[in-house]
Amino acid sequence: MTTILSSNLGYPRIGKNREWKRAIEAYWQGDITEKTLKEQTQKLRLQNLQKQKEQGIDLIPVGDFSLYDHVLDTAVSFNIIPKRFQDHNPAELSTYFAIARGGEKDAVAAEMTKWFNTNYHYIVPELNDTKPKLLENRALYYYQEAKEELGIDGKPVIIGPVTFVKLAKGYEETELEAWVDRLLPLYEQILSELAEAGASWVQIDEPVLGTNLSEKELKLVEKVYQNFDNKISGIQLILQTYFETVQHYQRIIKLPVDGFGLDFVHGDHLSLIQKYGFPADKVLGAGIINGRNVWRANLENKFQLLADIEEAANPKTIIVQGSSSLVHVPVTKNTEEKLDTVVKDGLSFADEKLTEIKVLTTALKEGQESVSDAFTASVHAIERLDQSDYRNQTVEATAENIKREVPFEQRKKRQQAHLNLPLLPTTTIGSLPQTLEVKRTRTKWRKGELTDDQYNQFVQSETRKWIQIQEDLELDVLVHGEFERTDMVEYFGEKLKGFAVTEFGWVQSYGSRCVKPPLLAGNVEWEHPITVKEIAYAQSLTDKPVKGMLTGPVTILNWSFVHEELPRFTVQDQIGLALEKEVLALEDAGVSIIQVDEPALREGLPLDRLKWPAYFDAAVRAFRLATSTVKPETQIHTHMCYSEFGEIYEAIDGLDADVISIETSRSHGEMVETFEINDYKKDIGLGVYDIHSPRVPSIEELEANINRALETIDVEQFWINPDCGLKTRKEPETIAALKKMVEAAKLTREKY
C-alpha cells in the first residue's frame, strides 16, 4: 500500500495585504523598532502556518520565511558576509539589511540576481575571504517555533549545498568542491540538530539538478548525499528540485536520500519514470500543481497525471505537492472584487492551490467520487474561460516584417543627423522617483476620489517638474518619467486586449519590492494608443529629444501569468505585433527615440541549454516584430537588467536595437570584463551607477566605471546612464546622483 500525503514547498511571505512589506519598510524608515518588526513578522509567519494547517496540508514548510531573501539568510547563518561588511556584527539585523541594500560609506550592496528563471531575486553570496561557521540554525529555530506556538510538526526547508555554492560567487570554478566541503559540516550540524529536535522530514532544495551540470559537479552531488546518508539518521531527507526536468534522472534517483521531489509541470518526469522506473523504497514528491502560475488546474487532468505517476513509479509514499514554492504566486484570490467572474473563476492563487493539493490528495486516497464536485467545478471554470470573449478570435501572428529597412551603420548616421547628440550622450532608463505623493494621488484616483482629468493633470505636473530638472541637469536624452505607471508590465496589461489585472495579486520580486503581474487570459490585441499622450506632452515641453518608453514583448510575456492553454510563443508574437502599432503611433506623433525594454530577456531563458535556440529565436522575432517597421531615422533603444551579456550576446545583437543599455553596476563591473564584444558595433550604455541603493556615487567612482568601459568599448558607441529605472529612489538622492553622472560625462568628453 502506498502512503499518500500532501505537502507544500514554500508559502508566500508577503501576507495578503502586503503586511510584510509594510512592516519591513516601516522599520527601514525608523517608524517601528526591531522588536516590533519581529513581532509583526512573527505574527504573519504563524498565521501563514496556521492557514496551511487548517487547509489540512500534511507537510507544512518551515524556514521558507525570510525578512528579505532566504539565500541571504542562509549565507548570513553560515557567517558568509561580504568582506566590506565584516567589521559589522553578523548577528545584527542592520548587518543583514546592509548587505542587501548597501551600507554606510562605500559599502555597496551585494549583487542581486534572478532565482533561476523566475522573477524572484536573491542576494548573491560572496564566498571570498569568508570563514564559514554556523552562526544560527535557522531551520531549527523555525521548526521549534512552529511546534511550540502552533503544535505544527513542520518540514524544515533548506537550500542544498551544491545549489548554494553554485549560486554564490567569489571563487574559481575549480574551487566548487572545496567550498561545498567546507560547508558540509555546517549542513551536518543543521540536520543532526533537526533530527534531535524531532523533525521527521527535511526538504533540501537542489534546483541546480535541473540545469546542465558537468560530470564533476554530478560526482560532487553524489558525494554530498552519500555523506549525509553516512552521517545523519532519524530524519527523512527529500531532495527537492523544480522548474525543469532533472538532467541525469537515472543517476539522481540512485542518490541515498529518502525521497525525491520532482516538478511534473515544468519537467517531463513521467516519461522518465515510465522509461527508467522509480526506486521502490523511496518517497516521491509529485509536484503537479503549478507553483509558478495563477491559473486554476484542471483537476481531472491532474488526477489522471497523478494516477499515471503512481502507476509508473509505484513508490512507497507519494506526496501530492506544488511544482515549486508558492512564493511565486499571490496569496489568495478571495480579495479580488473587480475581476470578471470568468477570469476570477479560472484563477488559483496560493491558498486556492493548497486546496487543489488537498482535493487531489483526498481523491487519491478515497477515490475521485469523494471530491467529484470540486473536479467538475475546475473543468467548468476552464471551459468557460475558453469559450469567453478572451478567446473568441485567433489573431494570426504571421507578419514577415522583422528586418529594418537599412543597416545599422546607415541608420546611425541618419539618426545622428537628426538628433545631433554630443559624444557620450547622457540619459536615464525611464522611470523617475515616484514620491509618496505620486502613489497617494494614484490611489485616490483609483478609489474614484479624483477624476481622470485631475489625475492626468497631476501626472503632467510631475512630468513638467522633471523635464525642467532634466534640462537643468543638462541630460541629453530626456524621459517623461513614467509617473502614470505603477509597474512596467501591468500598465500595458491594463491597456492591451487579452489581459486582466488584479487588485491585490502581489508577488515578491526583490526584498520588500512586490510586483503585480497581469493575467494573460487570451489573445492579445492593440486597441488604442497607450503611451502617446504622455510622451507627446513631455516632448512638447522641451527641445531635447524625449524617449518614448515601452515594455517589450518578451518581458510582458515573462512577467505575466500566461494561461497554460495559450501557446507562449504565439502569444509573444501577438504582443510584438500589438506593440508595433504603439511604436508606429509614437513615431507618427513625432517621437524619434523609442525604448523597448526587455529586462526579462535573460531571466526567461530555459534552464536546459538545449532549449535556448528556440527561446532566442522567438524572443528576437517578437522584439523585431515590434520595432522593425520604423523609419531609419527613428532610434530604437532597449534596456536589460542583470543580463550576463556573454551568454546571450547573439540574441542581443539579433534584436538589432540602435542603442542598448544594460545593468552592470551591481555586478561590480564584472560585466565589462566579460565584454568580448569588439565586434559589437551598435551603441551601448553600461549602467555607470547602481540605482538599487540610495547611495550617491562619487565622481571618481563614476569616472572609473566609465573609463573601465571605454577600455573595451569605442567612445563613439558609449552612452552614459544609471543602471536601471529610478522609480524606487527618492528625489534628492536621484538629482544628486544624476548631477554627478553628467559631470563625469563632461569630464570624460574633455579627454576626447
Interface characters, 346-375, with ligand GLN (x: CB under 6 A) = ------------------------------
Label the pairing between strands 507-510 and 513-515: antiparallel
Other residues' Cβ atoms within 10 Å of the Cβ of residue 134:
17
The answer to whether 482 is a known ligand-binding residue is: yes
Could you tell me which residues are beta bridge partners of residue 525? 497
CB-nearer residue toward Zn ion: 493 or 599: 599
Burial class (CB in 10 A: 0-12, 13-18, 19+), 195: middle
Count of residues for the chain? 752
CB-nearer residue toward Zn ion: 65 or 115: 115
Cα 218 to Cα 209: distance, rounded to the nearest angstrom:
9
**Spatial contact of 403 and 322, defined as CB atoms under 8 Å apart:** no
Among 61, 90, 125, 430, binds ligand GLN (CB under 6 A): 430
Among 107, 641, 671, 672, binds ligand GLN (CB under 6 A): 641
Burial class (CB in 10 A: 0-12, 13-18, 19+), 566: buried
In 3D space, the residue among 340, 335, 273, 332 whose CA is nearest the CA of residue 307 turns out to be 273
Cα 600 to Cα 32: distance, rounded to the nearest angstrom:
35
Stretch that binds ligand GLN, among 78-86, 334-342, 427-435, 698-706 (CB under 6 A): 427-435
636 binds ligand GLN per the rule CB under 6 A: no
Alpha helix (H) residue ranges in 161-276: 161-167, 176-197, 215-231, 249-252, 269-276
641 binds Zn ion per the rule CB under 5 A: yes
The answer to whether 568 is a known ligand-binding residue is: no
Total of residues contacting ligand GLN (CB under 6 A): 13
CB-nearer residue toward ligand GLN: 329 or 515: 515
Residues in 50-79 that interact with ligand GLN by CB under 6 A: none
Other residues' Cβ atoms within 10 Å of the Cβ of residue 184:
16
In 3D space, the residue among 239, 295, 236 whose CA is nearest the CA of residue 265 turns out to be 295
DSSP states of 597-641: E-TTTTTTS-SSGGGHHHHHHHHHHHHHHHHTTS-TTSEEEEEES
**Three cell numbers written together for 527:** 486597441
Among 152, 488, 706, 742, binds ligand GLN (CB under 6 A): 488
Specify the DSSP element, H or E, that contains 459: helix 452-473
Among 158, 288, 429, 618, binds ligand GLN (CB under 6 A): 429
CB-nearer residue toward Zn ion: 48 or 661: 661
431 binds ligand GLN per the rule CB under 6 A: yes
Among 599, 632, 697, 722, binds Zn ion (CB under 5 A): 599
Other residues' Cβ atoms within 10 Å of the Cβ of residue 581:
17
668 carries an active-site annotation? no
In 3D space, the residue among 593, 521, 602 whose CA is nearest the CA of residue 554 turns out to be 602
The answer to whether 57 is a known ligand-binding residue is: no
724 binds Zn ion per the rule CB under 5 A: yes
The answer to whether 352 is a known ligand-binding residue is: no
Among 82, 315, 687, 725, binds ligand GLN (CB under 6 A): 725
The answer to whether 431 is a known ligand-binding residue is: yes
**Nearest distance from C-beta of residue 482 to ligand GLN, angstroms:** 6
**Nearest distance from C-beta of residue 111 to ligand GLN, angstroms:** 16
Cα 171 to Cα 126: distance, rounded to the nearest angstrom:
8
Which amino acid, 258? D
**Nearest distance from C-beta of residue 295 to Zn ion, angstroms:** 28
CB-nearer residue toward ligand GLN: 95 or 595: 595
**Nearest distance from C-beta of residue 429 to Zn ion, angstroms:** 6
Sheet (strand 3-6) strand order: 3-6, 317-322, 283-289, 259-263, 236-240, 201-205, 155-159, 61-62
687 binds ligand GLN per the rule CB under 6 A: no
552 binds Zn ion per the rule CB under 5 A: no
The answer to whether 514 is a known ligand-binding residue is: yes
The answer to whether 114 is a known ligand-binding residue is: yes
Stretch that binds ligand GLN, among 197-205, 311-319, 423-431, 520-528 (CB under 6 A): 423-431
Tell me the residue number closest to ligand GLN, measured at CB: 725
639 binds ligand GLN per the rule CB under 6 A: yes
The answer to whether 724 is a known ligand-binding residue is: yes
**Nearest distance from C-beta of residue 48 to ligand GLN, angstroms:** 28
CB-nearer residue toward ligand GLN: 431 or 539: 431
- Residues 6 or more apart whose Cβ sits within 8 Å of residue 648: 601, 602, 605, 616
Cα 688 to Cα 704: distance, rounded to the nearest angstrom:
9
Stretch that binds ligand GLN, among 281-289, 520-528, 692-700, 721-729 (CB under 6 A): 721-729
- Of the residues 121, 266, 328, 692, which is catalytic? 692
CB-nearer residue toward Zn ion: 493 or 722: 722
**Spatial contact of 482 and 727, defined as CB atoms under 8 Å apart:** yes
Residue 306, phi then psi, degrees to nearest 5? -60, -45
Among 557, 626, 662, 724, binds ligand GLN (CB under 6 A): 724
In 3D space, the residue among 513, 563, 170, 511 whose CA is nearest the CA of residue 348 turns out to be 563
Cα 739 to Cα 231: distance, rounded to the nearest angstrom:
59
Residue 683 touches which of Zn ion, ligand GLN, none (Cβ within 5-8 Å per kind): none
Residues in 586-615 that interact with ligand GLN by CB under 6 A: 597, 599
378 binds ligand GLN per the rule CB under 6 A: no
Stretch that binds ligand GLN, among 60-68, 385-393, 424-432, 611-619 (CB under 6 A): 424-432
Cα 144 to Cα 137: distance, rounded to the nearest angstrom:
11
Residue 374 touches which of Zn ion, ligand GLN, none (Cβ within 5-8 Å per kind): none
CB-nearer residue toward Zn ion: 489 or 641: 641
Residue with cell 497523478: 306
Cα 664 to Cα 685: distance, rounded to the nearest angstrom:
10
- Residues 6 or more apart whose Cβ sits within 8 Å of residue 560: 489, 493, 499, 517, 518, 519, 520
The answer to whether 13 is a known ligand-binding residue is: no
CB-nearer residue toward ligand GLN: 107 or 488: 488
Known binding-site positions for 5-methyltetrahydropteroyltri-L-glutamate = 18-21, 114, 119, 513-514, 559, 603
Q: Which residues fall in the annotated binding site for Zn(2+)? A: 639, 641, 663, 724
Residues that bind Zn ion (CB under 5 A): 599, 641, 724
Residue ranges of the binding site: 18-21, 114, 119, 429-431, 482, 513-514, 559, 597, 603, 639, 641, 663, 724
Please report, as ranges, the residues that interact with ligand GLN according to CB under 6 A. 429-431, 482, 488, 549, 597, 599, 639, 641, 724-725, 727
Instruction: Point out the residues that are catalytic.
Output: 692
Known binding residues for L-methionine are 429-431, 482, 597
